[in-house]
Structure 1
Amino acid sequence: MDAISLPVLFGILLLMLVLSAFFSGSETGLMTLNRYRMKHLAKTGHGGASRAAHLLDRPDRLIGLILLGNNLVNIAASAVATVIGIRLFGNVGVLVATVTLTVFVLIFSEVTPKTLAALHPERVAYPASYVYTPLLRVAWPLVMVINLAGNGILRLFGVSADDAAAHSLSSEELRTVVTEAGAMIPRRHQQMLLSILDMENATVEDIMVPRNEIVGIDISKSWPEILEQLVHNQHTRLPIFDGSIDELAGIVHMRRVLALVSDDNLDKDALLGLAREPYFVPEGTPLNQQLLNFQNQQRRIGFVVDEYGDIQGLVTLEDILEEIVGEFTTDPATRVKNVYMDGDDSYLVDGTVTLRSINRAMGWKLPVDGPKTMNGLITEHLETIPQPGTKLKVGKYILEIAQTRANLVQTVRVKPPKRRVRRAPGEDLNSDDKASKADTER
């Protein structure tokens, strides 16, 4: 050291600080990389991403290499700074070098590069991977010795370096990723992705058509009445039953019926001959599983049955798809069935409307973890069949019984909570009221 001039020592010290900044920043950059984006870039042929992914397959080796390099340059910088301090200030130069080097290392070799790498990990990590890949091959014997010692200590605590994190996402974590994607994923696409995740929490009971609303052909009726049903039918596939839906004969496709009509060969026997064997679905089947079942069975309609085999309702492939993409109809008047505005701040809702459908259509948050319909929600809370005029509060929603029929709540008046609208500075109260009213009507 005595033979080296001060300018050269300062140059060596500066080089050590730069190398220390490189090791510190690249460590933070590599460890904070978005693993899924990195894998995507690697699949597209990105060289830096491919090398970074290979390095992160064994993080213990990478950390060993980084710490080895970082400690070497920091110790070398300390030695050089001490020599410079002694030459400039004598014995007190040791203290001066220690304090000065600590400040410089902390600011320029730790905080600054690590902050930069945390904010822009890809800009730091991918170029650094080109350095670490050959460096790991050169320093492999020394890194291996260090890792053997470190991993041996970890095993004492029951930790194995082979158990690298799989970085798999749960459904809730994936939901957070989709929600926080922002403008990278259009809002409409976000809703569809979240709806797919919600399907595992919903069952066929949540979306089925109740048995009392199933439209079909009653073969026990006279032929003119059957023809009348066929003429005024609005569905492509119709169940055929004998007197009751429990006496289900099958499903008939209207296209095949029209073929017989054109040949003037349609009668009851011919109609029954066209019927396909019905497909039954156990209640409680999750929607994501039922979607696969429809695909595997090549079916579009299934009848939901309880544990006793009694038909509870009907579920279609279209119903499940609407859970993902929303209602297929584009007519605002038919988008929300059996829901009508009643004044400026309330709605008349049919008691048979399912809670999931009205929540999706109206943007409400009525509880769906219990009863499936509005009628079921009310009777569960009141534990009796209410009289017209009875009011109750469910969460932030005020429900008033408008009409009842026998043992069923027929119509309910729902008053949802008012939505708060943020008012811009200088905006008057009237404009806020108008915006709130328009938001509610939408």
Structure 2
Amino acid sequence: MSDDNPHSSNGSKKKSVLNKIIQLFRPEPKNKNDLVDVLTDAQSRELINPETRQMIEAVLEVSEMRVRDIMIPRSQMVTIDRNHSLDEFLPIILDSGHSRFPVVNEDIDHVDGILLAKDLLAFGFSNSSEIFSLNDVIRPAIIVPESKKVEPLLNEFRSNRYHMALVADEYGGISGVITIEDILEQIVGEIEDETDEDIEEDIKLLASNVYLVRALTELEDFNEYFNCEFNEKSADTVAGIVLQHLNHMPQKGEQLTLGPFDFKVLTADTRRMQMLQVTVDKKHKINGKLSD
């Protein structure tokens, strides 16, 4: 008697078609939590990598933020006094390393405009005897309320091609400043450049087999330094590897062991990890050299 069962085969085909139909009419996400679940499922099925999921979740969070949530407070603003000469405020520009400065008159609540550091280059390399005047170079200042949502502000930054806005409180005083970089850092993480000070090493030895590792250390560099072979196709950074195995955003103090490495989260927020403590099994041989 043959083991072939045409009815069983047809049943399997019908079941397969039924599953496809069910998948087709699967309920769409009704809220943010549903969408996060979809992203988590997509990551588990390797449709997206951990960094992509993390970035999309950050975009969702940014869409709910208001300017007051991420602005630089007035106490940390670097401003230029309109009544000062170029020789007086040039050291401030050079020391800060910023590219844009609110120009104030009398006090910080009276902003006359924005000075772009690059606009001073013409005066520094010109043979002209023309006397420098801030009036000739300052640009209009954009002022937005603290309550303004971040997402439409980002669109305004892009469409109107400006990069900085002053933030006003309900009484009309200046409460802070926000730049397009501040918004983008909420999505992609801290953006460092050659002017940033105190940039920490990606990997720093703390003890004989304990290391301080920045979460955004490139996986290629981590593999080279620690003589290991984490899959660089599945994640770009050390944070991506940790996220991939935990499948959730870890809290401070959470630990994960992968092979000879014990990862402990030292600093993290709701969006991303910053620093990790990595303890290496003493039997594991380490190269200890990063690529240039």
Is the structural similarity TM-score above 0.5? yes
2:18 maps to what in 1?
28
Q: Pick from 396, 418, 439: which aligns with 2:253?
A: 418
RMSD: 3.8
Maintained 8 Å contact 1:214/1:314:
yes
Q: Pick from 189, 208, 233: which aligns with 2:71?
A: 208
Q: CA distance change for structure 1 residues 312 and 195 in 2, over 3 Å: closer, same or farther? A: same
1:176 maps to what in 2?
37
Maintained 8 Å contact 1:327/1:335:
no
Q: Pick from 320, 334, 343: which aligns with 2:199?
A: 334
CA–CA distance in structure 1, aligned partners of residues 88 and 151 of structure 2 = 39
Q: Partner amino acid for 1:275? A: I
2:101 maps to what in 1?
238
Q: How far did 1:227 drift?
A: 3.5
CA–CA distance in structure 1, aligned partners of residues 192 and 32 of structure 2 = 30
Q: Pick from 296, 299, 322: which aligns with 2:185?
A: 322
Alignment deviations for residues 390-442 of structure 1 (CA, whole Å, 9 cap, x no partner)? xxxxxxxxxxxxxxxxxxxxxxxxxx963344598xx9xxx97xx54987547
Tell whether 2:150 aligns with 1:287.
yes
Tell whether 2:163 aligns with 1:300.
yes
Q: How far did 1:30 drift?
A: 3.1
Maintained 8 Å contact 2:115/2:139:
yes
The size of the alignment, in residue pairs, is 217
Q: How far did 1:239 drift?
A: 1.4
Tell whether 2:87 aligns with 1:256.
no
Q: CA distance change for structure 1 residues 420 and 217 in 2, over 3 Å: closer, same or farther? A: same
CA–CA distance in structure 2, aligned partners of residues 320 and 297 of structure 1 = 16
CA–CA distance in structure 2, aligned partners of residues 266 and 228 of structure 1 = 21
Q: Pick from 36, 50, 54: which aligns with 1:191?
A: 54
Q: How far did 1:305 drift?
A: 0.8
Unmatched runs of 5 consecutive residues or more in structure 1: 1-13, 36-55, 57-164, 345-362, 364-415
TM-score, normalised to structure 2's length? 0.61
Q: How far did 1:244 drift?
A: 1.2
1:277 maps to what in 2?
140
Q: CA distance change for structure 1 residues 249 and 335 in 2, over 3 Å: closer, same or farther? A: farther
CA–CA distance in structure 2, aligned partners of residues 302 and 335 of structure 1 = 29
Q: CA distance change for structure 1 residues 305 and 267 in 2, over 3 Å: closer, same or farther? A: farther
1:229 maps to what in 2?
92
Alignment deviations for residues 2-30 of structure 1 (CA, whole Å, 9 cap, x no partner)? xxxxxxxxxxxx76x45862675155323
Maintained 8 Å contact 1:219/1:226:
no
Q: How far did 1:210 drift?
A: 0.8
Q: What does 1:23-422 correspond to in 2, within 5 Å?
A: 24-26=14-16, 28-33=18-23, 35=24, 167=28, 170-180=31-41, 181-182=43-44, 183-263=46-126, 264=128, 267=131, 270-329=133-192, 333-334=198-199, 418-421=253-256
| SS of corresponding position for 2:165 | strand
CA–CA distance in structure 2, aligned partners of residues 265 and 196 of structure 1 = 50
CA–CA distance in structure 2, aligned partners of residues 419 and 279 of structure 1 = 43
Unmatched runs of 5 consecutive residues or more in structure 2: 211-238, 240-250, 267-274, 279-292
Maintained 8 Å contact 2:252/2:265:
no
Q: CA distance change for structure 1 residues 221 and 173 in 2, over 3 Å: closer, same or farther? A: same
Q: Partner amino acid for 2:254? A: R
User: Which structure has more strand as a fraction of its residues?
Assistant: 2
Q: How far did 1:197 drift?
A: 1.1
Q: How far did 1:302 drift?
A: 0.5
Mark the structure with the bigger radius of gyration.
1
Structure showing greater relative contact order (alpha-carbon pairs closer than 8 Å, 6 or more residues apart): 2
Maintained 8 Å contact 2:255/2:265:
no
Maintained 8 Å contact 2:29/2:35:
no
CA–CA distance in structure 2, aligned partners of residues 420 and 22 of structure 1 = 44
CA–CA distance in structure 1, aligned partners of residues 197 and 93 of structure 2 = 27
Q: CA distance change for structure 1 residues 212 and 328 in 2, over 3 Å: closer, same or farther? A: same
CA–CA distance in structure 1, aligned partners of residues 174 and 33 of structure 2 = 34
Q: Partner amino acid for 1:318? A: E
Q: How far did 1:241 drift?
A: 1.0
